[in-house]
Structure 1
């Protein structure tokens, strides 16, 4: 049963990725408004009803890999290593996830960013996702650091999400190669970390009790 479930999940991920990739390619070739959901489904070799099984709308397909990858952050943070601090755990998982976000869809990543920056409807959806992500990170910080100050949690989540989002947009917009992208993300995480070193709760090992 577990093997069958795993196969189904992998197939669903492949189908979702194929739909998202086909959509961004068509947006680049034909234009966003000119591309229909039927066009996207045909390019991904699925039925239009299958598209709606994965995405509520054409707008949502633009954010496909961002939604998927952000979901990985919580899963990775759930794996804790002895003596590790929350800040070390965040660095361990965040750079890999962000690198995957920037790399996803190759040359069409820049198309995604251009669409979001040019279209108010997509900007609104992007802002909502940023707000949701910040709230999720804040919740994770509260779980990871039970004694963390309320303002520390809110500010830390805002610094982390805002800083990373800015770097991801920059890397995609300017078509960074993998090595330059990794360097940029490492640097961004270092800057965020330096801003968070004053939050004591983030710098105590998991197994060390709050003072």
Structure 2
């Protein structure tokens, strides 16, 4: 990627982050139904048209952080370094991504979780995203570990994605501070790693 394209991508990420943060702040201050796309765009100092170039709907902005982090997990997992086992890559990937999650949106993390838990429409979207992510991770595991068993791949992706998602929701729902949340997530990574270490194909260097 050349410098110009790199600058453009960074600007896009900043705008997307600004929109997501503004949306969660407005949802907390004024309510989800009362907040419009125009309100969110104005708070992020962009036009409604720009908002829709990043998010198809107001519902989708609620999942901005989730989508970004899950995409990062998939991208990192697809780049298993020679000589490193897939399990080592998973551990490193989760550690980096979870630190970003702890730092992201600060006080508005609980707002995001509350919205998802309270609204059936958002719950359905969250479940679909979880299912799609597990299938993506499963496919990547099968790609980097051609000899992994079918059930092993399905179970491993479910353990990794489901386990981390459950702990993140728990921490935000109960208002964990950043340090406590990071401690809880590190513990969750240890548990996930122990579970995945029983899958032999994941422990062999590529």
- Please give the TM-score of this superposition, normalised by the length of structure 2: 0.95
Is the deviation greater in 32-41 or in 180-189?
180-189
Q: CA deviation at 1:174?
A: 2.3
Unaligned stretches of 5+ in structure 2? none
Q: Describe the superposition over 1:150-180 as per-residue Cα deviations: whole angstroms up to 9, x where unpaired.
A: 0110011111111010011112122323322
Q: Given that residues 102 and 171 in structure 1 are in contact (C-alpha distance below 8 angstroms), is that contact kept between their aligned partners in structure 2? A: no
Query: Hey, what's the Cα distance between the residues in 2 that align with 1:108 and 1:148?
Result: 39
Match of 2:156 in 1: 156
Deviating above 3 A after TM superposition, structure 1's stretches of 4 or more consecutive aligned residues are 78-83
**Secondary structure at 1:8's aligned position in 2?**
helix
Query: Hey, what's the Cα distance between the residues in 2 that align with 1:168 and 1:84?
Result: 27
Match of 1:44 in 2: 44
Query: Hey, what's the Cα distance between the residues in 1 that align with 2:82 and 2:123?
Result: 41
Match of 2:63 in 1: 63
Within-5 A mapping of 1:163-202: 163-202=163-202
Match of 1:209 in 2: none
Q: Given that residues 156 and 196 in structure 1 are in contact (C-alpha distance below 8 angstroms), is that contact kept between their aligned partners in structure 2? A: yes
**Secondary structure at 1:146's aligned position in 2?**
coil
Report the RMSD for the aligned CA atoms in angstroms. Answer: 1.4
- Please give the TM-score of this superposition, normalised by the length of structure 1: 0.93
Match of 2:139 in 1: 139
Query: Hey, what's the Cα distance between the residues in 1 that align with 2:144 and 2:181?
Result: 28
